[in-house]
Amino acid sequence: MGRGSPLPLMTDIDLSPRTLYPVFDLTARVQFNSPKAKVHTKSNPGNSIGYGRAGLVFPLQVLSISPSDDPLAVALLAQLPPLCIKVATLGYARSLAREAWFYEYIDAKGLTGVISPRCYGVFHAALGTSTFNTDLKVDIPNYDYYSVAEQPIWDRFPHHYTAPLSEEHFHRKTKTLALAPDFVDDRKGSYESSPWRLFRQSPKVTTLTVLVMDLLGEAMTVKDFDEDWHDIEDIYEDLAPLFIIHHDDRFPNLLRVPPHAQRQCKTHGSAHKWNFIDWENASLQSDTKNTCRIQHLQVLDILNYGISLGAVDRQVRNLGY
């Protein structure tokens, strides 16, 4: 070994036989006619239960699990919680993968189900070689899934069909996406090593990218904000040690957590009533000193957002900053 080479680590590996659970396949369908939406409108495409620039959210109904003759499959089907999927709009597949990374990071910190819903993964597939193939339709009522591909997504990036992530900029000379000067990769090299870093959307290929998550309840209202303000402060208190800035903390991104999805918060000794969603624009901070200031402003942002809609002004708790 050369100078500076790490010393080999010795460890015992258990090679004894063990019983592994079988891998199951799910058969499911998306409920485009959601009971939560009464009418189809352009602002509510396909009766989605949530929508935005990066994607649309629909309830997911699991019809069966195969192999169906396995006793574990029957029990698993009965135990499945209500689920939903977030379908990426064209060009935003990487945004959903980025959001999945934050769900995984939050889960590693033990806060899945506490401040955010459970995420079961991001799935991506190519469906065809032509966006305009009439045999390949994503049947979402009143939503033109394909019109996005007719023009580049970003007018200032000519012929660029892939939406840049919030930490990226478009290098005009090389015509590539790269980290903006004021961003750095984390210690694990999550950005550099990600298989999604070099993914580019082609207008000639139809792709489908989905996030599978727990189905939560309705979005926060002004009345909820007034009644549960202390719970919201608790959520920010849980988020603070993670050094994550959400960047889009508004009422539409705070959803009520149904009882089956609630998880006890170890810090506060109870389950929170609300979870944050839509983490695709979040950022992981490296400057811990500056992060405290930003997170305090983050709490003020949602307070000001609530007040602008008619909520009561109040004193912001010093969340340990």
Chosen domain end from 169, 194, 214: 214
CB under 8 Å to 155, separation ≥6 — which residues?
none
| Same domain flag for 197 and 276 | no
Query: Could you tell me if residue 15 is inside a domain?
Result: no
Per-residue model confidence (pLDDT) at position 31: 61
| Same domain flag for 240 and 297 | yes
Query: Could you tell me if residue 48 is inside a domain?
Result: yes
The answer to whether 65 and 76 have CB atoms below 8 angstroms apart is yes
| Same domain flag for 201 and 236 | no
Number of domains the chain contains = 2
Query: Could you tell me if residue 163 is inside a domain?
Result: yes
Query: Could you tell me if residue 11 is inside a domain?
Result: no
| Domain region containing 115 | 25-214
Angle at the Cα of 275 (from 269 to 280), degrees rounded to 5? 135
Q: How many residues does the chain have?
A: 321
Question: What is the rounded CA–CA span in Å between residue 151 and residue 295?
Answer: 37
pLDDT tens digits, one per residue of 182-227: 788 888 888 888 888 888 887 778 888 999 999 999 999 999 999 9
| Same domain flag for 146 and 285 | no
Chosen domain end from 214, 245, 267: 214
Query: Could you tell me if residue 186 is inside a domain?
Result: yes
Nearest alpha-carbon partner for 251 in 218, 216, 211, 215: 218
The answer to whether 282 and 102 have CB atoms below 8 angstroms apart is yes
| Same domain flag for 178 and 39 | yes
Question: What is the rounded CA–CA span in Å between residue 179 and residue 168?
Answer: 4
Query: Could you tell me if residue 107 is inside a domain?
Result: yes
Per-residue model confidence (pLDDT) at position 166: 82
| Same domain flag for 58 and 137 | yes
| Same domain flag for 70 and 184 | yes
| Same domain flag for 61 and 164 | yes
Query: Could you tell me if residue 90 is inside a domain?
Result: yes
Per-residue model confidence (pLDDT) at position 315: 82
| Same domain flag for 250 and 288 | yes
Tell whether pTM > 0.85: no
Per-residue model confidence (pLDDT) at position 32: 56
**SS3 category, 79:** helix
| Same domain flag for 238 and 127 | no
The secondary structure of residue 108, as a DSSP letter, is: H
* CATH number reported for the structural domain that contains residue 236 in this entry: 1.10.510
Residue segments in the chain with a per-residue pLDDT below the cut of 70: 1-48, 129-160, 288, 319-321
